[in-house]
Structure 1
Amino acid sequence: MKTDSLFYRLFQEFPAIFFEIIGNTPQLADNYQFSSVEVKQTAFRIDGVFLSSQGEENPIYFVEVQFQPDRDFYARFLAEIFLYLRQNKPANNWRAVVLYPNQNADIADTKHYQEFFASERVRRIYLDRLEASADQSIGIVIVKLAIAPPTTTVELARELVSRVRQQVTNDLQQRQLVQLIETILFYKLPTMSREEIEAMFELSDLKQTKVYQEAKEEGKLEGIIEGKLESVPRLLALGLTVEQIAQAFGLNVEDVRRAAQNQATQ
């Protein structure tokens, strides 16, 4: 799964996060429906569009997650927008937001489009510059997790899961957020097995996620006890106890302890 797909899923399930990113009240999400739109008779597709469901006073938001440097990006993006406006003739005004991981990814030529940036009709947001604070929303922290370097991903995810469980009282929303965090980890830590990720966070929700089920169907998650035991030393090094590993993997405590001892004697 590409990073932009993660963000589009994030906005689909939790649209309030988008409005937080652009500095608006998250309650505005109640007035919108997030979707993708086809631009007919062209090869264009706009992957992220917030269409107002509450009248003409709310602008349309065209959203693009651009993690790959592309010198032609603005020419293509604005062409897609104007073709959409021509074909659909919406009564609502419009805005465009481009999300970059950092400023280094923003290399596209802007000389023909300066007025759009000056008027803030088109806004560029560099996600690494989102202000960090103790009271930062869970949604913003999830965005930071998606762009975090591997060295800080695990610790940030642990803190985020703990915060979700403490602050989100709605069971369904809590489960959705935890599954989204696990999905991000699934793709950001490709060298870790799903069992290791699950054991690290003492979670079972991963088994309910779409990506887990798809991977299981393809045989990627099928393993034997020996394969699980091979992960024991690594998980011990990360701070888990023998009992926690045994519970997470559904193994006998003595088998886990023996695996740890065998590794120590090698």
Structure 2
Amino acid sequence: MKTDKLFYRLFLSQPGLIAELIPEIPRDCKFTYSAPGVKEKGFEIDGLLTPTANDLSLPLIFIEAQMQRDPRFYGRYLAETFLYLHQYNVKRPWYGLLILPNRKEDLGSEIPYQELLKNQIKRLYLEDLLTLTDLSPNLALLKLLVVNEEDAATLAQSIINSAETEEELRRRLDLVEAILVNKFPQLSTKEILEMLNLKTADVTQTRFYQEVFQEGQQEGRQEGRQEGQTDLVLRLLNRRCGVLSPVQEEKIRSLDIELLEILGEALLDFTAISDLEAWLLEKL
């Protein structure tokens, strides 16, 4: 499973996650992500989180996900880190964050680096999350990477249903879907949606929609439900068929709820943008 970019996407999309794992980081600290190269020996740092604020007391975070055995990992990781600090004349503190599957993988001797590993570098073992309950949504997203298929369905639904704002809902839907697609490449889009227990074009079962667009709301209920359905259909189409043109997106936004639901079912069989064009031509 190619998880490196997925991890960094999680950290940038969920700003509070880095502070949960490294308590010394302020919860409101925002970062940019890069993967800078260093000149010596062709080293390349997998992930560097740089604070967006100009406050030099805020640290750089050298983050790396190592999911398989590498007897020279610790030495390589720290060589890359210190070469970067030297090459770019860094004047702010730094921390390391390592995402590791378990304590059994051979990553090399810790003896030469034990003080750094104890004080400067945080190690998150994903296997430790498997036995924990009542996790924050941020840590639950990391746990979703390592649970089995049966538990993944329950956990994914819990993460989505805990969203309290529309923005949070959309972000979590996108992250959960991305994790499941990477974790279970053998599953079809329809099977992923069934795992989430969501209708293709209906997210009204989430806590956000139950609370904000509940039955009986006098104003905006129909508009809110349709907007949610439209956004989800557009997101699935972009993933299934590629980026839509502004004209195509406008046509989809003009659909009523009934047609959105029909399109939501039909798009599971789409393989190219031409399938969408043919559907729109038939229905409009």
Q: Common fold, TM-score beyond 0.5?
A: yes
| CA displacement 1:124-155 (0-9 Å, x = unmatched) | 22122247343x32111111101212231112
Q: What pairs with 1:71-110 in structure 2 (closer than 5 Å)?
A: 71-105=71-105, 107-110=107-110
Count the aligned residue pairs: 215
Q: Distance in 1 between matches of 2:109 and 2:233?
A: 42
Of residues 60-69 and 107-116 in structure 1, the stretch that sits farther from structure 2 once superposed is 107-116
Shift of the 86–126 alpha-carbon distance from structure 1 to 2, 3 Å rule, reads: same
Any conservation in 1 of the 2:49–2:62 contact (CA below 8 Å)?
Answer: yes
Q: What letter matches 2:21 in structure 1?
A: I
Q: Distance in 2 between matches of 1:162 and 1:191?
A: 25
Match of 1:242 in 2: none
**Displacement, 1:214?**
5.6
| CA displacement 1:152-188 (0-9 Å, x = unmatched) | 1112112222222xxx21x233212111101111122
Q: Distance in 1 between matches of 2:233 and 2:123?
A: 34
Q: What pairs with 1:170-181 in structure 2 (closer than 5 Å)?
A: 171-181=166-176
Shift of the 137–25 alpha-carbon distance from structure 1 to 2, 3 Å rule, reads: farther
Any conservation in 2 of the 1:38–1:45 contact (CA below 8 Å)?
Answer: yes
Match of 1:152 in 2: 151
Any conservation in 2 of the 1:198–1:248 contact (CA below 8 Å)?
Answer: no
**Displacement, 1:41?**
5.3
Match of 2:241 in 1: 216
- SS of equivalent to 1:143: helix
Shift of the 121–24 alpha-carbon distance from structure 1 to 2, 3 Å rule, reads: closer
Identify which of 197, 201, 204 aligns with 2:198: 201
Any conservation in 2 of the 1:157–1:181 contact (CA below 8 Å)?
Answer: yes
Shift of the 207–72 alpha-carbon distance from structure 1 to 2, 3 Å rule, reads: farther
| CA displacement 1:219-245 (0-9 Å, x = unmatched) | xxxxxxxxxxxxxxxxxxxxxxxxxx9
RMSD: 2.7
Shift of the 14–56 alpha-carbon distance from structure 1 to 2, 3 Å rule, reads: same
| CA displacement 1:180-223 (0-9 Å, x = unmatched) | 101111122223211222244224437516xx746535xxxxxx
Q: Distance in 1 between matches of 2:75 and 2:233?
A: 40
Q: What pairs with 1:131-146 in structure 2 (closer than 5 Å)?
A: 132-134=132-134, 136-146=135-145
Q: Distance in 2 between matches of 1:208 and 1:58?
A: 35
Q: Distance in 2 between matches of 1:28 and 1:193?
A: 37
Any conservation in 1 of the 2:47–2:64 contact (CA below 8 Å)?
Answer: yes
Q: Distance in 2 between matches of 1:207 and 1:183?
A: 16
Q: Distance in 1 between matches of 2:67 and 2:22?
A: 18
Match of 2:22 in 1: 22
Gaps of 5+ in 1: 218-244, 252-266
Q: With the length of structure 2 as denominator, give the TM-score of the two structures.
A: 0.66
**Displacement, 1:43?**
1.6
Any conservation in 1 of the 2:200–2:265 contact (CA below 8 Å)?
Answer: no
Any conservation in 1 of the 2:160–2:169 contact (CA below 8 Å)?
Answer: no
Match of 1:56 in 2: 56
Match of 1:125 in 2: 124
Identity of aligned residues (%): 31
